[in-house]
Amino acid sequence: FAGLGDFAKIDELIAKREQLSPSVIRESSITMTQDLLNHPQFQQFDTIYIYLPVRNEIDTSYLITKALQANKTVAVPVILSKEDMVFQKINGTGKYHEDRYHILEPVYDPKSVIDRPGLMIVPLVGFSGRRRIGYGGQYFNNYLKHRKNLYTIGVGYQFQSIPELPEDDRDILLNEIRAY
């Protein structure tokens, strides 16, 4: 993210998100859920790849519940190494722990790893067009660079939009970004 002022813009976006009230987070999360439940890709795919929220990200728990109720396969990220993650199937009742980034993830079970076509809901720190800013670990970019069978939707708040984002050859363009 060279050109973002030594991550100053990222820090600013994270700080602004962390100041959001619970009611704003809840309203945005419910709006996102209703929007994505009606999305053609949500209806088309049987597998939903989705993140578990941290630090006032849009709350995906409502969408996870609805997807499970619709008998969709739901998978969330599990960090395996400094650069690698997989997505593991959840059923809503499994055991979770905090990873090194203080994000909840299921206890790793290689038999539950999912890697097939589906819809992926991606968290955002910021975005410009279809390009996303994450925390800088490159986990989603690394995961997506070899998987063309996923339809990706980044979700975030409207204030996370950045007019211009410097090019980074590691970036993977998302299919869509939706801000609430």
Give the model confidence (pLDDT) of 39-70 as tens digits.
999 999 999 999 999 999 999 999 999 999 99
Q: Which helix (H) or strand (E) holds 150?
A: strand 150-156
Mean of the per-residue pLDDT values for the chain? Answer: 91
pTM of the model: 0.92
Residue 6 above 50 pLDDT? no
**Nearest by Cα to 165 from 132, 142, 119:** 132
Q: What percent of the chain is predicted at pLDDT more than 90?
A: 69
